[in-house]
């Protein structure tokens, strides 16, 4: 994998997350009935950061959950070996709540499709919204994000690498190029 460009450095990335938090509060006119749910794996620390920002600005704590979508993937019977399954942890029932799904990159939309199916098995939220740090285009399903940190046009050959301090030791977003393995 070859790095082509740094899309956002740590400072700009944290600023984008801060703005996403504000936008979530703004579009929902407060924090009432909000639940922030991160999609494993990089959506989880992002969801926590967004909730933290909201609490700093609004002074109210927002419940945070974790969604594992592995078992709902549409490519489970075509990929091998199987991805590792981890538990889903929701802080409270999602019935009649406003769920904000959080992920790092929105690409084909298939992860979000799986996440919606997984979520519906836990109840009937009043609304589900989607917040992503990077929207890179190339959707294969009719899915769009409500809150976006950064929109960037990409080629399909490119890879968007989101690094988070909690998992990777530093904050940054890179555009990388897949090098063909011969």
Partner 1 sequence: MRTQTSALRSKDLLGIESLTPEEISLILDTAEGFKEVSERPVKKVPALRGQLVINLFMEASTRTRVSFEIAEKRLSADTLNFAASGSAVEKGETLIDTAQNLMAMRPDMIVIRHKHPGSPKMLADLLPASVINAGDGAHEHPTQALLDAFTIRERLGRLAGVNVSIIGDISFSRVVRSNIHLLTKMKANVTLAGPPTLIPAEIERMGVRVVHSLDEALEGADVVMMLRIQLERQGKLSFPSLREYFNTFGLTAERLGRARDGVLVMHPGPMNRGVEISSDVADGPFSVILEQVTNGVAVRMAVLYLLAGAHLAEHQG
Residues of this chain that interact with partner 1 (CB under 8 A) are 41, 68, 70-73, 75-89, 108, 110-111, 114, 117-118, 121-123
Helix, strand and coil content of the chain, in percent to the nearest 5, comes to 30, 30, 40
- Rounded to a whole number of angstroms, the minimum distance from the CB of residue 161 to partner 1 is 11
The total of other beta-carbon atoms located within 10 Å of residue 141's CB is 11
- Rounded to a whole number of angstroms, the minimum distance from the CB of residue 5 to partner 1 is 21
- Rounded to a whole number of angstroms, the minimum distance from the CB of residue 172 to partner 1 is 18
The residue among 111 and 129 lying less far from partner 1, judged by its C-beta, is 111
- Rounded to a whole number of angstroms, the minimum distance from the CB of residue 78 to partner 1 is 8
The total of other beta-carbon atoms located within 10 Å of residue 81's CB is 5
The residue among 56 and 140 lying less far from partner 1, judged by its C-beta, is 140
Are residues 28 and 147 in contact, defined by beta-carbon separation less than 8 angstroms?
Answer: no
- Rounded to a whole number of angstroms, the minimum distance from the CB of residue 31 to partner 1 is 25
User: DSSP per residue over 4-64, as a string?
Assistant: EEEEE-HHHHHHHHHHHHHHHHHHTTSSTTEEEEEETTTHHHHHHHHHHHHHHHHS----E
The residue among 72 and 149 lying less far from partner 1, judged by its C-beta, is 72
Are residues 16 and 133 in contact, defined by beta-carbon separation less than 8 angstroms?
Answer: yes
158-163 sheet: strands from edge to edge: 2-8, 172-177, 158-163
The residue among 87 and 169 lying less far from partner 1, judged by its C-beta, is 87
The residue among 57 and 76 lying less far from partner 1, judged by its C-beta, is 76
């Amino acid at each position: 994998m070859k790095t082509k460009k740094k899309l956002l450095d740590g400072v700009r990335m944290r600023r984008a997350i801060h703005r996403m938090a504000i936008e979530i509060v703004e579009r929902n006119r407060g924090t009432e009935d909000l639940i922030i749910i991160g999609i494993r794996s990089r959506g989880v620390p992002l969801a926590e950061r967004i909730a933290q920002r909201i609490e700093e600005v609004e002074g109210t704590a927002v419940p945070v959950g974790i969604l594992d979508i592995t078992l709902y993937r549409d490519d489970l019977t075509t990929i091998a070996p199987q991805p590792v399954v981890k538990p889903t942890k929701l802080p409270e029932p999602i019935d009649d709540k406003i769920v904000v799904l959080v992920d790092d990159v929105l690409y084909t939309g298939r992860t979000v499709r799986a996440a919606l199916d997984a979520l519906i098995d836990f109840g009937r939220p009043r609304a589900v919204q989607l917040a992503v740090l990077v929207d890179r285009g190339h959707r294969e399903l009719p899915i769009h994000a409500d809150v976006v940190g950064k929109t960037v046009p990409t080629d399909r050959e490119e890879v968007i690498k989101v690094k988070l301090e909690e998992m990777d030791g530093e904050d940054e977003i890179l555009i990388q190029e897949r090098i063909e393995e011969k």
